[in-house]
A and B are shown apart, each in its own frame.
Chain A
Amino acid sequence: MLLSELINKCGFDVVTANDLNKEIKDGYVGDLLSDVMGNAPAESIWLTVQSHVNILAVATITGVKAILLCNGLSYEEETIEKAKENGITLLATEKSSFKACMSLFEAGLR
């Protein structure tokens, strides 16, 4: 499913957008970087509560296309800059990771 479509259906805030026409095929939830590193599928959306700059290294290496920061948290300034450099889309939501997963499911991501 297209990233833009997911964002519209779920109402996530776009913090910095790269290419919203990217295809999102899968998703992953995790706050331990090594766990995400080991298990997140490529071309996926990653739901987390980690907001510091290291999440970009994880996304870049695993091939995660978009990061969704949950629980109404906000990204650090450096993270946003680095995301622009690396072409990763940053999203945010007031929802918990669990509720955000449900929204993604309802939007049709399987």
Chain B
Amino acid sequence: MAEDKVDELLQKLQKYFSHITASEIMNKNVITLTSERTLWQAKELMKIRKISGIPVVNDQRKLIGIISIEDIIMALEKNYIKEPIGDHMTKRVVSFSPDEPLESIVSKFERYHFGRFPVVDKNKRILGVISKKDIIRAILERFRLIYVHDERRSQILEKEAEWFDKSLITGDYVKKSDADFVFQINYTNVDLAGAGAAKLKSFLTKKGIGETLVRRVAIATYEAEVNVVIHSESEGAIYCWIEKTCIKVRVEDHGRGIENIEQAMKEGYSTATDHIRELGFGAGMGLPNIRRYSDQMVVMSEVGKGVVVEMIFCERG
């Protein structure tokens, strides 16, 4: 959609949703950088996450600047891409307060022509980020809330509560605090994708689990982990339980969710962006690989509510 068409649409829609504020629209999963990181790292992050600007924060998460794609282009032209962000970032940042109304948000987008604006509290601490996409998403969500029946909504909510506490395969309650292995997935750094699976592999090897079984667990876990990093836009976690006859792994996130699981299970189907594909991801083999290497697997997901993948691996005779 052309840029001016988006603006026009926002103009029209904002009248109906004038009561929405920045805190309701903002994306709370903010990707930030600290000022000692290099412009090169900022460039990589922008490329991979397909974003045009990254807020720069200090160690108290206070906003101190913003680095935009224009800054990167300049750095490439003038050959200082390896230098720290702090020396070249824009320090006068236009930001929103959490209670800033939609009307004022839209007018700032028009006035400044930035791709995204940070939302900060009174102490300049960063709370979230708003792009035009976030505004449209917030508005669409309002539409959905208006049209979904109450009964259906409560069912969905109940289901959600159930997912995050019960085993999808056995129906037992799972105690995550009892897990033998826990790993928090860092979704902001694609370079780290697979770090959890690699750790799990060495953990299981040290526990004396057979090599072939460990390899299967590691491969399937890797795929689930990469899915969280590439698709969810949310943090996630890997849990592993070593049981008498099998190994159970659960990978969960609270992100975007899968629209059509049946399609996602097909080999070669992927919603990954071109950038991600260039890195060799997004082959559409993730879930098929998990199915192939696990003895039992269940995927449960709903758009906007995250994904839970549970896998059971047994020693094969």
B81 within 8 A of partner (CB):
no
Known: A57-B222, A62-B215. 12 other contacts (CB 8 A): A31-B280, A34-B285, A34-B286, A35-B283, A35-B285, A37-B222, A38-B219, A48-B280, A50-B280, A53-B191, A61-B215, A63-B215
Residues on B with C-beta less than 8 A from A55 are 280
Known A-B contacts A52-B191, A57-B193; the reply to A38 vs B198 at CB < 8 A is no
Residues on A with C-beta less than 8 A from B279 are 33, 50, 52, 54
A29 within 8 A of partner (CB):
no
Question: Can you spell out 16 A-B residue pairs with CB atoms less than 8 angstroms apart?
Answer: A32-B283, A33-B226, A33-B283, A37-B223, A37-B285, A38-B292, A52-B279, A54-B190, A54-B194, A54-B280, A57-B195, A58-B194, A58-B222, A61-B201, A61-B222, A78-B191
B281 within 8 A of partner (CB):
yes
Residues on A with C-beta less than 8 A from B226 are 33-34
B129 within 8 A of partner (CB):
no
Contact B194 A61 (CB under 8 A): yes
Contact A38 B289 (CB under 8 A): yes
Closest to B289 in A: A38
Residues of A participating in the B interface, judged by any CB pair closer than 8 Å: 31-35, 37-38, 42, 48, 50, 52-55, 57-58, 60-63, 78
Known A-B contacts A50-B280, A61-B201; the reply to A34 vs B289 at CB < 8 A is yes
Residues on B with C-beta less than 8 A from A32 are 280-281, 283, 285
Residues on B with C-beta less than 8 A from A31 are 280
A42 to B194 CA separation, bound complex (whole angstroms): 17
Known A-B contacts A37-B219, A37-B222; the reply to A60 vs B198 at CB < 8 A is yes
Main secondary structure of the interface of B (DSSP, over half): helix
In whole Å, how far is A30's beta carbon from the nearest beta carbon of chain B? 9
B127 within 8 A of partner (CB):
no
Near A by CB (< 8 A), chain B positions 193-222 give 193-195, 197-198, 201, 215, 218-219, 222
In whole Å, how far is B203's beta carbon from the nearest beta carbon of chain A? 13
In whole Å, how far is B289's beta carbon from the nearest beta carbon of chain A? 4
Residues on B with C-beta less than 8 A from A37 are 219, 222-223, 285, 289
Complex interface bits, B272-311 against A, C-beta within 8 A gives 1, otherwise 0: 0000000111011110110011000000000000000000
Contact A57 B283 (CB under 8 A): no
A34 to B281 CA separation, bound complex (whole angstroms): 7
Q: Which of B201, B222, B293 has the most CB of A within 10 A?
A: B222
Contact B280 A60 (CB under 8 A): no
Residues on B with C-beta less than 8 A from A62 are 215, 219
Closest to A55 in B: B280
Closest to A40 in B: B219
Contact A34 B223 (CB under 8 A): yes
Residues on B with C-beta less than 8 A from A54 are 190-191, 193-194, 279-281
Residues on B with C-beta less than 8 A from A34 are 223, 226, 281, 283-286, 289
Closest to A36 in B: B280
In whole Å, how far is A43's beta carbon from the nearest beta carbon of chain B? 11
In whole Å, how far is A68's beta carbon from the nearest beta carbon of chain B? 15
Residues on B with C-beta less than 8 A from A61 are 194, 197-198, 201, 215, 218-219, 222
A52 to B222 CA separation, bound complex (whole angstroms): 17
In whole Å, how far is B245's beta carbon from the nearest beta carbon of chain A? 24
Residues on A with C-beta less than 8 A from B286 are 34
